[in-house]
Amino acid sequence: MFELEWLGGAPEARFRKRRPGIEALPWGTLTGAGIDTAEARRVWTNGAFTEYASAAAFTAMAAAFLECGAPIDLTAAASDCATDELFHTELAARLVMELGGAWPFDVDLAKVSPVTTPGVRPLVRAAELAVKVSLVGEALSISALSASKHAASHPLTRAVLERLLKDEGAHAQVGHWFFEWASERLEAAERAHLRAVADAAIAVYAPLWQQPACERCVLPAEAGGAGDAHRVALGEAVERRVVPSLNRWGLVPVT
């Protein structure tokens, strides 16, 4: 079962110093707002886990950058993104609590970090993570969050989504910064491998825009529900954001 803990004390003070401002959001205004919270609780519980998994992904990326000798400022940027994602996890979790508490969510945290191809050299492992996490996953996240923010009709939900979006631009840029340094160090066969990695990464998300929206899973506008606009935004993001990002480094997906 997915559960979060908070230690407090010195770790909290350190975290707050680096990610201030959470108490300025209009907490306490969503409770008792009279919305149907069942789907909202489910979606935002999933959102909290997604942010948690993103923290694991950027942590793995930072470690991979260290292992391939990437520039230390670049590695620090990837590590900082992991802290962003943990802050996002807290934001989503607090919103869930305002909606009435977390939805039951089973997960194996031993598998939370992204998987890379066994046997590849450290540079290629780092490149795989840059593609999957930053150039694909985070690029799509920007469009998904933007659609939800545009639809959000409650000040607290909108404020949370705005804070999430504030960081996503840099998260989607980390992959570009990596390839600025790594591109000329990759061999032709490795580029072909990374194109297949990009193709597989997009395929993981494809059902989100290729399949019809669930008519029974209607997220209230107060909680950021965008209806079919969410699915459309993701489909457009692939053509307008993801593919151009990959094309910049000669990594256009195979299909």
Global pTM exceeds 0.85: yes
Check residue 227 and give its pLDDT. Answer: 78
Check residue 35 and give its pLDDT. Answer: 79
Q: What angle do CA 240, 244, 247 make, to 5 degrees?
A: 160
Q: How far apart are the C-alpha atoms of 57 and 17, rounded to whole Å?
A: 23
Cα–Cα distances (Å) from 234 to 209, 211, 229, in that order, read 6, 12, 9
What's the whole-number mean pLDDT along residues 173-197?
A: 97
What's the whole-number mean pLDDT along residues 113-137?
A: 97
Q: What angle do CA 99, 206, 198 make, to 5 degrees?
A: 115
What's the whole-number mean pLDDT along residues 140-154?
A: 92
* Model confidence at 212: pLDDT above 80: no
Q: Are 194 and 118 in contact (CB under 8 A)?
A: no
Average the pLDDT over each of 56-60, 109-113, 217-221 and give the range with the smallest value: 217-221
CA-wise closest residue to 70 among 125, 30, 119: 125
Q: Are 242 and 209 in contact (CB under 8 A)?
A: no
Check residue 33 and give its pLDDT. Answer: 67
Phi then psi for 118, rounded to 5 degrees? -65, 140
What's the topology of domain 33-247?
Ferritin (1.20.1260)
Q: Map out the domains of the chain as residue ranges.
A: 33-247
What's the whole-number mean pLDDT along residues 122-141?
A: 97
What's the whole-number mean pLDDT along residues 203-222?
A: 82
Check residue 40 and give its pLDDT. Answer: 92
One-letter amino acid for residue 185 of the chain? R
For residue 2, is it left (φ>0), alpha (ψ between -120 and 50) or beta? beta
Cα–Cα distances (Å) from 240 to 186, 222, 243, 244, 245, in that order, read 26, 28, 7, 7, 9
Average the pLDDT over each of 152-161, 213-222, 232-241, 242-251 and give the range with the smallest value: 213-222
pLDDT > 70: percent of the chain: 96
Number of residues written out for the chain: 255
What's the whole-number mean pLDDT along residues 33-55?
A: 91
